[in-house]
Structure 1
Amino acid sequence: MTARAASRPVGTVTRGTTNPNRLRRMDRWIAATHGAELRRASDAVAVDLGYGAAPWTAVELLARLRAAAPRVRVVGIEIEPDRVAAARPYEREGLTFRHGGFEMPVPGRPLLVRAANVLRQYDEAEVATVWERLCARLAPAGGGSRGGLLVEGTCDEIGRRHVWVALGPEGPRTVTFATRLGSLDRPSDLAERLPKALIHRNVPGEPVHAFLRDFDRAWAAAAPYASYGARQRWIRAVRDLAADWPVTDSPARWRQGEVTVAWGALAPVR
């Protein structure tokens, strides 16, 4: 292998589609659930992996994380050199851009890696290898810390609907469904935004299919709460859903149009 081949970024170029505020729901969840880890670190580095054709998501990630952890630094990484060059004018204190891929050319171990809409174009069989590689780069657990966090998932073009998997150094932990409630007809509408590890598993016999079926039923049963607004209907549906599924968050997050479930309950049948 030549030196040039050895240093070539790992991965393939994405479409690069991005819009301002597209990842706001994911960012707010990260700040709420991982902010304490970022605050405790003496040198907290967060990576926006595959930020796309414009740097908006990295700029916004810095602002949202600094509201929770003022010392955090964000590194935007893109595999397409022209995108990195276009982002350089947006660098500032706490925000830099680098050319790279899944090898993540940053020093040390990041406390956060956000990979949004990156694996959508990959084959399902490739996901586990990418996850393993990225998780191996996360800050390790220890000393009261759970270690770094990888957030990998998919959303629509304007950020109304998201589904993401949160992974630690040990592997996948949870799956979060998040939506602008006013845009939702039924919870299974989120199926089209399932991450690559789950989107082809939304078929009978798979846990994620059963979960979305039960969520739709709970949503239908909570129809009387719609007179109080979509938020109250969602909260009631999630409360009923939690009787049969390992929901890991609380009403404070449900009010945001979110629900988080243990990964083990939705993991694909092998």
Structure 2
Amino acid sequence: MGQPTRGTTGYNRLRRSDRWLVHAPRVRAALLSTAEPIVVDLGYGALPVTTLELAARLRTVRPDVRVVGLEIHPDRVVPSQQGVDFGLGGFELAGLQPVLVRAFNVLRQYHVDDVADAWSQMQTRLAPGGLILDGTCDELGRRCCWVLLDASGPVSLTLACDPFAIDEPSDLAERLPKVLIHHNVPGQPIHALLTAADRAWAAAAGHGVFGPRVRWRAMVESLAAAGYPVEPPRRRLRDGVLTVPWSAVAPL
């Protein structure tokens, strides 16, 4: 179920979302609580490199995880390799019941009206406690945004970037998931969040002498102090990460 996408990909393009997945408490709990965890990488593109990278990183959490790359384009299906299986499939997930689905740079190429149905198709096929990551990134993976969903609906939104690759946080707006990108207008919560982030970024300019990563962290702390429900950074990451509950950005 679905339609072929462009299939562009690249080595290490999804490293930021992979790092987040490996350390996100809810994702780790889902992987560790399942007897035989299956993870689906949906729409891996013309090359399977990001699926293989995902498998290698998730094995640091759960060595016995089974990762399956699915492509709707038959010509892109490759033989199994490095302990990872590949097959033909779309939003029906090829009949699998995964604990985690990663669909990166897939729904961005669909019409916004198709998003809800695609989410529903995947949600009904999740294992108990399963999760979905619907995300978008630029060609080099320096600017990324993703929504985490469970069987009930969206849980959170994460913005992630190389702080050296932005002038201000709202530069990430061009990579918002399809469900949000058309709502980045005045009066909508996602626009308010990005505007507040830009203001906090500007106010933290003095921290820039220590580098943009320190400035990003100061921005996040400023947003939290102002009452935004941001998740505290796990540690001093190389990535700039900002995660908020879905309720903080859900379209009105």
Partner Cα distance (1:60, 1:75) in 2: 12
Matched residue SS, 2:18: helix
Partner Cα distance (1:256, 1:186) in 2: 14
Q: How many residues align?
A: 249
Partner Cα distance (1:254, 1:188) in 2: 20
Give the aligned CA root-mean-square deviation in angstroms: 1.3
CA contact (8 A) 1:152 1:195 kept: yes
For residues 82-97 of structure 1, the aligned pairs below 5 Å read: 82-84=75-77, 87-88=78-79, 90-93=80-83, 95-97=84-86
Q: Structure 1 residue 224: deviation in Å?
A: 0.5
* 2:56 counterpart residue number: 63
Q: Deviations over 1:161-208 (max 9, x none)?
A: 100000011110000000011111100000000010011111111111
* 1:244 counterpart residue number: 227
Q: Structure 1 residue 246: deviation in Å?
A: 1.3
* 2:211 counterpart residue number: 229
Structure 2, unpaired ranges of 5+: none
Partner Cα distance (1:79, 1:255) in 2: 34
**Amino acid corresponding to residue 191 of structure 2 in structure 1:** H
Q: 1:30 and 2:21 equivalent?
A: yes
Matched residue SS, 1:47: strand
TM-score, length basis structure 2: 0.95
* 1:132 counterpart residue number: 120
CA contact (8 A) 1:114 1:151 kept: yes
CA contact (8 A) 1:124 1:197 kept: yes
Structure having the higher Rg: 1
Structure 1, unpaired ranges of 5+: 1-9, 141-146
* 1:159 counterpart residue number: 141
CA contact (8 A) 2:37 2:65 kept: yes
**Amino acid corresponding to residue 165 of structure 1 in structure 2:** V
Q: Which moved more, 1:244-253 or 1:114-123?
A: 244-253
CA contact (8 A) 1:154 1:162 kept: yes
* 1:99 counterpart residue number: 88
**Amino acid corresponding to residue 48 of structure 2 in structure 1:** P
Partner Cα distance (1:249, 1:194) in 2: 21
Partner Cα distance (2:127, 2:183) in 1: 30
* 2:247 counterpart residue number: 264
Q: How has the CA–CA distance of structure 1 residues 253 and 197 changed in structure 2, closer, same or farther, with 3 Å as cutoff?
A: farther
Q: Structure 1 residue 37: deviation in Å?
A: 2.4
TM-score, length basis structure 1: 0.89
Partner Cα distance (2:170, 2:239) in 1: 18
**Amino acid corresponding to residue 157 of structure 2 in structure 1:** V
